[in-house]
Amino acid sequence: QVQLVESGGGFVQAGGSLRLSCAGSKRIFSINTMGWYRQAPGKQRELVAGITPSGDTNYTDSVKGRFTISRDNVENTVSLQMNSLKPEDTAVYYCAANWGPFDRTGALIRYWGRGTQVTVSS
């Protein structure tokens, strides 16, 4: 069963942009905070950005000013616009949903997408 479906990953040069999208069910989007985590090889999974059902957002410090998270509660989608990409942004990005607050590593996340690879070349 796939309840969150991601798209938009790919290869990009440093300084470029990508937009990730995630689609899910009406029930998931109506009651859950949505967001994105990422995990690079050999590194711990980390929170990238989150957005509550009412639209409040938070970002990890390393992406502030470059990434923007948004959600559409009619279309049941959440997006991550990534600008000014850096090689250190290279990771698998996972869409996530949870009824409660997001933790730093995603240990408490209830719903996950399968992930989409983002590779930023120097």
What b/e sequence results for 56-84 when a residue is b if at least 16 CB atoms lie within 10 Å of its CB, and e otherwise? Answer: eebbbeebeeebbbebeeeebbbbbebee
Confidence class for position 112, pLDDT limits 50, 70, 90 = very high
Q: Cβ distance 23 to 34 under 8 Å?
A: no
Residue type at position 92: V
Per-residue pLDDT tens for 50-65? Answer: 999 899 999 999 999 9
